[in-house]
Structure 1
Amino acid sequence: MLSRKKTWTAGDQKRKYNGEEMELKEKHCWAEIDIDAIKSNYELIKYTLDRPFYTVVKADAYGHGAKYLAKVYSEMDTFGFCVSSFSEAMELRNAGITKPVLILGYTEPNKAYELFKNNLTQTVFSLEYAKALNDQALYPIECHIKLDTGMGRLGFDLISDKEKAYSDIRGLLNFHNLKFTGMFSHFPAADSLDEKSLVMTQKQTELFSDTARLMESWGFNLKHLHGQNSAGIARKLNGSFNTMRAGIILYGINPSEAVIFPQLKPAMSLKTVVTHIKTVKAGQTVSYGLNWTATQDTKVATLAAGYADGVNRILSFTGHRVKIGDRYYPVIGNICMDQMMIDVTDSDVKIGDEVTVWGGSGENSIDKVAAKIYTIPYEIMCSVSKRVPRVYREKDKTVHIEYNI
């Protein structure tokens, strides 16, 4: 039996979804990642706005697998990567990624030497944090300054007390173990086009640009100024930005219904197989809670995917349908931890058939699934668990399979 920790490439064996390879893994659920879509989205962003951009691969590349995709993006000559934490940054370095890596969140100051040794760029978001990091550093650490222009999260607070924020920012010049090469902020409402959001985003853009000009006069030499997230890129927001951060649009999902980046191609699909078929008599119930009762004799198929894999349990009674071949079949009963059931009455569905639980551009696209359970596509993708192998497909061939357990 194959080890669950094995990294399996296309050269090992041919990928057969209904064949021996999936049987050997014991878990018949996988996330299929379309590399052709990933590359198409990347090129679309690149040629729409001709400026360097970070590819955001935090949260395991939004569930798509950061290690492999970072290699793909590196081959496409991305400027660098954004991650959330030191551990995510080290995952890239340990995978052989040499491009710049910006840590967007907090890193403990006692990791200062590790930041330097691994050539990582750390976000500095307060004078106190900068001092703590500077005091621990033995060698210059590359840093980007985070401004809070309205998000209310990390950053020098230009909303509550601009004068203090400016004083603190000027104080950064005293920290000689920190090398400031960039500055950024974040838009909380760039994906909305209502009047309040438009005004907010415009004010943020102006505040960022004004601050960048001031900082240049104070003696800062910042090469990378970035505020455009995926929504900002889609809207082609102007300002003093010379670098971008591409996130969800890389993976083929629009920032919102209001803000669309044309021609994106969704990259992820969650797939499984039919493991059992039975006929449930009229009056019988299916799954936990006795919430679904057959009104007639019903052909029920069990699938090897559940909420521990990334199929949200709330989908149970939303009318969600999975796709087998060219047809859609409704989910019945409560979705379980490891399994789920569907109604396949009057069909030729058989054990071993491949099932798309969600993904693609049809009725069970990630956007539509998110809307059914009142959440956002980000959460759907990030919810795919580590026990689900990531299967990377390019030009109709499996080029890599990544196992995390």
Structure 2
Amino acid sequence: MVEILISQKKLIGNLRYYQQLYPEVSVAPVLKSNAYGHGLVEVAEILDKENLPFFCVDSLYEALLLRKLGIRTKILVIGYTSPSNINAGKQKDFSFAITSLSHLQDLAQNLKNPTEFHLKIDTGMHRQGITMRELPEAALIIKSSGKINLAGIYSHLSDAADEAFTRQQIVHWNKAVADLRKDFPELRFFHLSATSGVRFSKEISANAIRIGLGLYLANPVLCLRSIVTSVKNVDKGEFVGYDRTLQAVQPMKIATVPVGYFEGVDLRLSNRGYFKVNDIFCPIAGRVSMNITTIDASSISSIKAGETVTVISNQPEDLNSAENIAKICGTIPYEILIHIPSYLRRTVV
């Protein structure tokens, strides 16, 4: 039994936080990768009522799914989409990213119908985008294509924690915006900052910000729960779990929980992580299995099958919050959240 709860109040509260902190720009939620594990459809349905400029998804598949389910907010597909896939799409109201000069050339040659795009600028991350040197050529291709309707431009900060490097990117960005606005006065959207870079907003020529992780973790929105299915006593010297990675140094009370790495419990939490039962943090005992995790419930005087177990907490200070799980695993919260399988039902509360 696994239960994923998505707090509508917290999600809207996080949106309001960024809207109030940066009233001079519009907030564009990032819903790619199953809304960072929170449920693409569930999150979109909540935010669809908020009159937002557009949602960011990674693929045409995600965009088509949202439209099929009645989502009305405009959608920007920020991942690479080939001309053939754009041509084959039945929906004509999506915007797509232009991710490189070669991509732009391919689009100009092979698009069948006028389509709306946001041009990605490489301001220093060197992953995707038109370089500053390529901008004049790109502008000429767009103007002569007849099929590429440029609605926006965007870029991405490589290392927002490094102020000096970020300001170099901002200089490149502001120049690109100034140049392209002269060539394309009809441009409507300019967006550089994502969650980690919004603090630079006043220095950036932009009218939108893309909020991903902050939308879900400024005040954590997701809680993953399960139950205790059995409790047994383990004597001193006995082992727990695969490969006998835990040997009891004293008598222990071991509880089993029917979630494992298939359900999104990171294997790196073996003998290191925590679940919460009755407001008590119980260490993970032994190796996380595919569908079962064992915990040391010795500190709980009375525990029985059916007790609720919090696997991922929506309280940021908890040892098993997404942020703290990521620290234990030596990774980032994104990885923890997106590994929660999409097949598990999300319930909006």
Q: What TM-score does the superposition give when structure 1 sets the normalisation length? A: 0.82
SS of the equivalent of 2:306 reads: coil
Equivalences for residues 163-178 of structure 1 within 5 A? 164-178=134-148
Q: Distance in 1 between matches of 2:295 and 2:227?
A: 12
Identical-residue share of aligned pairs (%): 28
- SS of the residue 2:270 aligns to: helix
- Structure 2 residue runs without a partner (length 5+): none
Q: 1:364 aligns with which of 320, 324, 327?
A: 320
1:167 Cα offset (Å): 2.3
SS in 2 for 1:355: strand
Structure 2 counterpart of 1:328, from 281, 296, 302: 281
Larger deviation, residues 118-127 vs 376-385: 118-127
Q: Which residues of 2 match residues 208-287 of structure 1 at below 5 A?
A: 208-252=173-217, 264-287=218-241
Structure 2 residue identity aligned to 1:352: G
Structure 1 CA distance, aligned partners of 2:38 and 2:146?
38
Q: In the alignment, what sits opposite 2:45? A: 71
Q: What do residues 90-134 of structure 1 show as CA deviations (whole Å, max 9, x unaligned)?
A: 121111112111111111211223457341101112333223223
**Alignment partner of 1:308: what SS?**
helix
Q: Given that residues 150 and 187 in structure 2 are in contact (C-alpha distance below 8 angstroms), is that contact kept between their aligned partners in structure 1? A: yes
Distance in 2 between residues matched to 1:40 and 1:99, nearest whole Å: 19
1:381 pairs with one of 334, 337, 343? 337
| Residues 280-319 of structure 1 mapped to structure 2, 5 A cutoff | 280-318=234-272
Q: Which runs of 4+ in 1 moved over 6 A?
A: none
Q: Structure 2 counterpart of 1:392, which letter? A: V
Pair 1:46 & 2:19 matched: yes
Pairwise CA distance, 1:170: 3.0
Q: TM-score, normalised by structure 2?
A: 0.94
> One-letter code of the match for 1:375?
T
Q: 1:168 to 1:230 in 2, by over 3 A?
A: same
1:183 is the counterpart of 2:136: no
Deviation per residue, 1:12-40 (Å, 9 max, x gap): xxxxxxxxxxxxxxxx1122211111011
Match for 2:129: what amino acid?
G
Q: Give the aligned length.
A: 345
1:237–1:356 distance in 2 versus 1, CA, 3 Å? farther
Q: Which amino acid aligns with 1:226?
A: H
Deviations 1:49-88 (A, max 9, x none): 1121211000010000011211111112222100111111
Question: For the structure 1 residues 392 and 75, does the alpha-carbon distance in structure 2 shift closer, same or farther, using more than 3 Å as the test?
Answer: same
Are residues 1:198 and 2:163 paired?
yes
Letter of the 1:377 partner, please give it: P
1:265 CA drift (Å): 1.2
Q: SS at the partner of 2:229?
A: strand
Amino acid at match of 2:15: Y
Q: How far 1:312 sits from its partner (Å)? A: 0.3
Find the aligned partners of 1:216 and 1:265 in 2 and give their Cα distance.
Answer: 37
